[in-house]
Amino acid sequence: MSPKLRTTLQCGTKLKRDDWIEIGNVIYEKYVEKYSNPYPKRYSDIAYCIIRQIPNLVQDKTVGETAELIAEKLATKFRNKRRRLDSSASNLGVRKPVRYGMGLPQYAPAFEDSQRLEVQRAVEQLQTVNGQEAIDGLMQDTFADRRHLIVREKVSVAIIKERYGALFSVYQLWRELERMAGRSLRRESELLWARYLTAAQEVLGCSDIDRVPKAIAWALGDALDVYRNDGEGPGAVVAGGTVFVDGVEVAEVGERDALLVWAVALFVFSLKYPTGSRSTGRYLSYHVLGVEDEAPKDRVSQRFHDEVMKHM
C-alpha cells in the first residue's frame, strides 16, 4: 500500500476512484499470496474482514452498504485478473483451470481436528432435535465437516445421508448452497425459474407446464442423461419428480422443480457437470441460479436462451 493511501485511510479522508483501484490491487495480491488461489468463494466475508481491519473505509455509507460495495469491487477485480491469467495460460499452451460455478463444488472451509468433538455432539443432536431454527443452527455448526467429507474425503452420498439425514430435503439443499455461496439464492432463483418455465412453455409448445423442464433438457440435448426412470447411474439424475445422486434419493420435489434442484445438488455434492448433461447444468447454473461465472457458449444453449428471452 502506498504511503499516500495509507495516510488517506489513517486520516479518514474521502476515498477517490484511484484509491479504490489500489485497494483492490492490494487485496488481490495479499489474498493470492496467502492462499495461492485467485478464486475466492465469499467476497462478502473478505469485505467484512477488511472493514474490521480498516474501519475508515466506512465513510458516507453504512457498514453493510460499504461491505456490499467492496464485495462488488472485489468480484470485478478478481474476475478481470482471472481472465488475464486464463488468457496468458492459453497463449502459453497451458491448460486453463476448469471452473464450475466459481469453484463452489470444491468449496470447503477450514476444518481442524480440534473441532471434531464439538461437531460430533452437534451431529448427535441433529438426530433428535425438532424445530427448523434449531436444525438450521446445527447444520451451520456442522457445515465445515460436511464440506470436508464431500470435497476432501470424497465420502459416498449414502454415508453422508446416514450422518446428515437433515441435508436430504429441498429446504436444506438450498440452505447448503446458500452457505456455500455466502448469499441468499432460493427465493430469487425460484421466481426466475417460474418465469423461465412459462417462457419456455411458449417456445417449446408444451401443453403441460410440468413437462417443460424435461423439454428444456431435450432442447439442450441432455434429457437422456439427466432423466432416468430408475434413478440409477453415477452422478445426479432425475426420476419423475425425485432427485437422485449416485443412486441415493436426495429429495422428492415434483416434476416442475426437480430439474432446478438437480442443478443445486450438483454443487452441494461437489459434482462436476456430467459429460452428457453439461449444457443443462451450465445453463441453469448461470441463467437461473446465478452461481456460474460465464454464460454457456455453445450455440444450442445460446440459441435456446435467445428464444426464451423473447417471451420473458
Residue appearing with cell numbers 441463467: 287
Closest CA to 50 of 36, 68, 38, 33: 68
Residue 254 has a pLDDT of: 93
When pLDDT is averaged across residues 149-171 and rounded to a whole number, the result is 92
Q: C-alpha 129: how far from its chain's center?
A: 28
When pLDDT is averaged across residues 134-163 and rounded to a whole number, the result is 91
User: What's 295's DSSP letter?
Assistant: -
156 pLDDT above the threshold of 70 = yes
User: What's 182's DSSP letter?
Assistant: T
Residue 92 has a pLDDT of: 39
Greater model confidence, 152 or 108: 152
Q: 248: exposed, middle or buried (C-beta count within 10 Å: 0-12, 13-18, 19+)?
A: middle
Domain range summary for the chain, segments of one domain joined by +: 3-97, 106-181, 186-309
Residue appearing with cell numbers 434449531: 134
Copy the grid coordinates of residue 222: 441432455
Greater model confidence, 30 or 237: 237
Taking only the tens place, the pLDDT of each residue in 57-73 is 777 778 777 777 777 77
**Cβ-based neighbours of 2, under 8 Å, separated by 6 or more:** 22
Q: How far apart are CA 81 and CA 86, in angstroms?
A: 9
142 pLDDT above the threshold of 80 = yes
Supply the mean pLDDT for the chain: 82
Taking only the tens place, the pLDDT of each residue in 33-90 is 665 455 555 667 777 777 887 887 777 778 777 777 777 777 777 666 655 554 544 4
Greater model confidence, 145 or 107: 145
**Cβ-based neighbours of 253, under 8 Å, separated by 6 or more:** 170, 241, 242, 243, 261
Taking only the tens place, the pLDDT of each residue in 101-116 is 445 556 666 767 677 8
pTM, 2 dp:
0.66
3-state secondary structure of 84: helix
pLDDT band for position 22 (50/70/90)?
confident
Residue 8 has a pLDDT of: 78
Greater model confidence, 212 or 181: 212
Strands (E), the chain: 236-239, 242-245, 248-252
Residue 86 has a pLDDT of: 47
Q: How far apart are CA 45 and CA 188, in angstroms?
A: 21
Residues in the chain: 312
Among the ranges 45-49, 249-253, 296-300, which has the highest mean pLDDT value? Answer: 249-253
Residue 174 has a pLDDT of: 96
According to DSSP, the residues that pair with 236 across neighbouring strands are 245
Percent of the residues in the chain that have a pLDDT greater than 70, as a whole number: 83
Least confident of 14-23, 76-85, 220-229: 76-85
3 pLDDT above the threshold of 60 = yes
| Whole-number Cα distances in Å, 246 to 55, 97, 153, 182, 279 | 48, 26, 16, 27, 20
Greater model confidence, 274 or 243: 243
Residue appearing with cell numbers 439443499: 173
- Cα torsion angle, 178, 170, 201, 271, sign: positive
| Whole-number Cα distances in Å, 162 to 124, 156, 157, 159 | 12, 10, 9, 5
Neighbouring CB atoms inside 10 A of 303's CB total 11
Residue 214 has a pLDDT of: 94
